[in-house]
Chain A
Amino acid sequence: MHWMFSCKDVSQLISESMDRSLPFYQRVLMRMHLLMCKYCSRCKEHFEALRTASRHEELYGNELDASRALSHDGKERLKKFLKNHLSVTS
């Protein structure tokens, strides 16, 4: 890697920095590049949005409507299913 990182290098480092802590000099050069490059900054935002979206588990708005619940029969089916499988596995 050249001492001045290219956008390609930086996109890799952004990703890696989300999975491990980068060596000091890489971190510094990456940050310098990000200050100057709006496209790599966007790339970083996008990677972070992917993470936030992937980890989300809340529901909003009409997703929470009480009508969106398992039917009584559906619940009974699932309970029966679990019971059957439990007797097989245990």
Chain B
Amino acid sequence: MSKRESDAAIIEDPESWVDHYGDFLYRFALSRVKDPAVAEDLVQETFLAALRAREGFKGRSAGRTWLIAILKHKIVDYIRKKFREPPTDKIETLIDIMDADFNDSGKWQVRPHKWAINPGKIYEQKEFFDVLYHCLAELPGRLAEAFMLREMDGLSTAEVCKALDITATNSWVMLYRARMSLRRCLENKWLGEE
């Protein structure tokens, strides 16, 4: 049986999920939320969401990747609730802030800093992930959703459009705004160094 077939077989059999993926999901959750009880709850919520979405799995990614993607959404939801960061759905506010990124002639108003990270070793930068998840939780809901579907779940742009019922042009604009906001948020909260 190939790896993919065996993954599909495991996903078909939810009773085996705890043994196959439980510890990994738990550790992943714990690396973001610190509290063991919360981490366990997040794993449970992930399994519940996965149960409901299992039809859509179809073995196109590794089972673990699929479950981790669901877990990442749950982690962002959790942070948003915990820190009472209601996703402002006022995209207009965001556009105002975005306009402040550039001056009238389209030059950088606040110049992007050099980030103190090694792109190849980004995984080792724990704080980067902590800040990233907080920044995601602060984004307007729809933008965060578009970003997460595209970048965390790795959906194609066409799939993102279908999931959010938006046009392709709209998706490029939303993803651009999400990336710019996250870039700025990360720069403000942690990474900037001149």
In the complex, the answer to whether B151 meets A54 with C-beta atoms within 8 Å is yes
In the complex, the answer to whether A64 meets B27 with C-beta atoms within 8 Å is yes
B183 in contact (CB, < 8 A): yes
In the complex, the answer to whether B172 meets A20 with C-beta atoms within 8 Å is yes
Number of interface residues of A (CB under 8 A): 48
In the complex, the answer to whether A74 meets B106 with C-beta atoms within 8 Å is no
Dominant secondary structure at the A interface:
helix
A31 in contact (CB, < 8 A): no
Closest B residue to A78 by beta carbon equals B18
A35 in contact (CB, < 8 A): no
CB distance from A13 to the nearest CB of B (A): 9
In the complex, the answer to whether B176 meets A15 with C-beta atoms within 8 Å is yes
List, in ascending order, chain B residues with CB within 8 A of A59's CB: 24, 27-28, 31
Most buried by A among B17, B150, B151: B151
In the complex, the answer to whether A57 meets B124 with C-beta atoms within 8 Å is no
Closest A residue to B171 by beta carbon equals A19
Dominant secondary structure at the B interface:
helix
For the A-B complex, the count of residue pairs with Cβ-Cβ distances under 8 Å equals 144
In the complex, the answer to whether B47 meets A19 with C-beta atoms within 8 Å is no
Q: Which residues of chain B from 115 to 131 have a CB within 8 Å of any chain A CB?
A: 115, 117, 119, 122-124, 128-129
Q: Which residues of chain B from 1 to 45 have a CB within 8 Å of any chain A CB?
A: 14-15, 17-19, 22-24, 26-28, 30-31, 40, 43-44
Additional 7 contacts, C-beta under 8 A, given A6-B107, A70-B23, A81-B48:
A11-B176, A45-B115, A46-B183, A59-B31, A68-B27, A79-B15, A86-B15
Residue pairs across A and B with Cβ atoms less than 8 A apart, 12 shown, are: A6-B106, A11-B176, A19-B157, A42-B112, A47-B183, A52-B119, A54-B148, A54-B152, A59-B31, A70-B22, A70-B43, A79-B18
Residues of A within 8 A of B (CB): 6-9, 11-12, 15-16, 18-20, 39-40, 42-43, 45-61, 63-64, 68-70, 74-75, 77-79, 81-83, 85-86, 89
